[in-house]
Amino acid sequence: MIKRPVIIDCDPGVDDTLAICLAASHPELDIRAINPVAGNVGYESTSQNALRLADLIGIDCRVGRGAEEPLIAPCRTAGAVHGQGGLGGYQLPEAHRDFDVDYAWDILVQEARRAEGALEVIALGPMTNLAIALTRYPELKKLIRKITVMAGSADQGNTNVYAEFNVWVDPHACEIVFQSGIPIAMCGLDGNDSCSMNTEEINGIFQRPCRLSDVIGHVSHFIHQRNTEQWHLPSSTIHDLVTMACFIDPSIATYEPCYVTCETRSSISAGQTVVDLYHVSGKKPNVDVLRRADKERFLQMLREMMDWYTQH
């Protein structure tokens, strides 16, 4: 089997946790590193969650030392959304490993060189680590095959009217990545919503017993309870999980190539991903924007994940 070398850049986070679990259940992925960044909660929590989760699942990879704050904007988190410690109060066991000696951006270029152009990156949080790497190592643009990001929206935001959280946290980093020339797939709020799950689907999939049922069951219940009881939503879109599924199997996703730029200055729309869906700007598309994903195939991937952790 020819494996796909990948680096997961993330800010765990309840939704990142499920996405990492999904990635680790696919042996065709060669997970070279998990690089944490500040985002959903502060860096102290996201970094420990990444380290401990990799250890708990048994992912043999490097865990880098990432950015503790955005490039320019003040550090802003969403602790109220993700709960105590970022995992809804769940306490992962202490890790039996330590962080890599190198920073996330150095690991990124090292692994890109080692993969000789085959490395893919999936970013589930603010893109600070990626932007630092691209700024420090200009040659990196030619060494990464593709970047898939859970970021943005072609419609409305979830942090201000226009901005999705990951981009809002570090819009300057987003703009550096989007203008890098690297092939990019953007799985935003509106596209991911095609895979929103109701209570029956959430419970039927994630409450099944398996090796990781404690953490998977806890975080999935926390997400859905927050959405239905606190925010009065009829269903839950686990955005990082949909993004990871589209990354693993791009055939479930329908993308539209568009020119996309990120608003970094506006007082009312900072963090907005300005998506030229109708190609009126005349600018060459730089991002493949997710329009929808096949929900039935997405749900089947989740069932197969639970089967994997029952058997392994």
- The neighbouring-strand residues paired with 273 are 262
Q: Enter the pTM of the model.
A: 0.97
pLDDT attached to residue 160 = 92
* Alpha-helix runs per DSSP H in the chain: 14-24, 43-57, 79-82, 104-115, 128-136, 165-169, 171-178, 189-192, 199-206, 213-225, 239-248, 295-311
Q: Are 154 and 275 in contact (CB under 8 A)?
A: yes
pLDDT attached to residue 230 = 85
- The neighbouring-strand residues paired with 256 are 289
Residue ranges of the chain with per-residue pLDDT less than 50 = none
pLDDT attached to residue 248 = 98
Domains along the sequence of the chain with CATH: 4-311 (3.90.245.10)
pLDDT attached to residue 231 = 87
**How do residues 28-75 score in pLDDT, each as one tens digit?**
999 999 999 999 999 999 999 999 999 999 999 999 999 999 999 999
pLDDT attached to residue 228 = 92
Identify the CA nearest to 191 among candidates 270, 127, 268, 287: 287
CB within 8 Å of 311: residues ≥ 6 apart: none
d(CA 110, CA 128): 17
Q: Are 20 and 34 in contact (CB under 8 A)?
A: yes
pLDDT attached to residue 267 = 80
DSSP, res 207: T
Q: Catalytic amino acids?
A: 239
d(CA 219, CA 83): 10
DSSP, res 86: G
The CA-atom distances, in angstroms, between 193 and each of 96, 196, 242 are 37, 5, 9
- The neighbouring-strand residues paired with 237 are none
Q: How many CB atoms lie within 10 A of CB 62?
A: 21
